[in-house]
Amino acid sequence: MHGLGGRMATRAVAAGDAQQQQELVFDHAAQFFTVSDERFQRLVDEWIGKGLVREWRGLIGELDAGGHFRPIPSSTPRYIGVNGMRPLADAILPKSDLVEVVRRCWISKLEPFNGMWRLFENEKPHGQYDAIVIAHNGKCANRLLSTSGLPLLTRQMKLSSVWALLAAFEDPLPIPQSDPYGTFEGSFVKDVDSLSWMANNSQKLFPLQTGRPECWTFFSTAAYGKRNKVPQENIPKVTSEKVKEDMLQGVELALGLSRGSLQQPFYTRVQLWGAALPMNTPGVPCIFDPQGRAGICGDWLTGSSIEAAALSGMSLANHIADYFASSGERPEEFAMGLHENLNQVEGHDIGQFPGLETQKLQVAEAQLQPST
């Protein structure tokens, strides 16, 4: 409804009165990305050239409960959208008559008909197509394929759940100093049940601007998300209040503050990413059924990163182009990813960052100390 990009999500909020309006900006899903593949690097270089992406040079690291911070070596560049992640996703859309984005639209059914695919939104037809691509996680792909006559894929896929808390503070938070580096802008959090990551969007996105409120994004652990999962489209108020309090207490614990001493934010919002990240994956760049001319792409096929998403899309596009160039001869040679086993994903609770020198974790498996 709001924009392209899915988990490349940025929220801008108008705060204050009419005479003193200020915009609060939060990256509330993907926080940054790294590059390990030359194909993706070429794409990132194009984005940099267009002013869409820049390197994030702010200090990041790992924060142990009690305020003990360790910087992460910066051997691998970290990238962010210049004005947040969502503007980057919107800018990727080609300025071409060949591409038409229809929204708000929720395709609910796929139906094969006379060698074509017919798409429907609650029985309302949305055209006929030679081939279809589902750029969504495996569970949602299965839901769409359930009426298509094609075999369901990745039946055993597991997804984590993660809570996001957006909070704006009038005054700077008491961040531990890391001499000689100063204060961190982002940190993975260790040994706090309700917190796995915290980042200062104001410093990350607007480092040269002064006098802005501090807009922080906090993420829970996947274990906390699993225990406190509710329908994300209709979060009960009692749950949102509990999650907010738990996560703010987690911030106190992470920073080594006494309970109740953290300044109260003047703006908060919680969001549940109910299908946040894959916990297991088939390990193939894309899935394609040449008999049905149906393909699936997404970061979840190989991991959980923006690089994995981009490479998956490129792989499927090239694969479909090669299939049609073959005029449909020997279609069985173009089958891909239809019978793969799923293997556990390694990474942080907020995703994978290839090349980043941090300890690898089994997603959602760590047993943490409660923050209460």
Q: Check which CATH number belongs to the domain holding 254 and give it.
A: 3.90.660.10
- Domain boundary among the residues 256, 278, 300 is at 278
72/185 same-domain check: yes
Residue 95 lies in a domain: no
220/83 same-domain check: yes
d(CA 147, CA 151): 10
84/57 same-domain check: yes
Residue 63 lies in a domain: yes
- Other Cβ atoms within 10 Å of 227 Cβ, number: 12
Q: What is the four-CA torsion angle of 291, 101, 317, 90, rounded to 10 degrees?
A: -150
The strand ranges marked E within 41-83 are 53-55, 60-64, 68-71, 79-81
Note whether 207 and 233 are within 8 A (CB). no
Containing structural domain, residue 148: 104-158+279-344
- The sign one gets for the Cα dihedral 350, 355, 357, 363 is positive
Residue 359 lies in a domain: no
pLDDT beneath 70, residues of the chain? 1-2, 17-19, 151-156, 178-179, 357-372
- Supply the pTM of this predicted model: 0.89
152/195 same-domain check: no
251/185 same-domain check: yes
Q: SS3 of 141, please?
A: helix
Residue 240 lies in a domain: yes
Residue 349 lies in a domain: no
Number of domain units in the chain: 2
Query: For residue 343, what pLDDT is reported?
Result: 85
Residue 372 lies in a domain: no
Residue pointed to by tokens 């793969």: 340
Q: SS3 of 255, please?
A: helix
292/330 same-domain check: yes
The Cβ-side half-sphere exposure at 66, using a 13 Å CA radius, reads: 5
38/164 same-domain check: yes
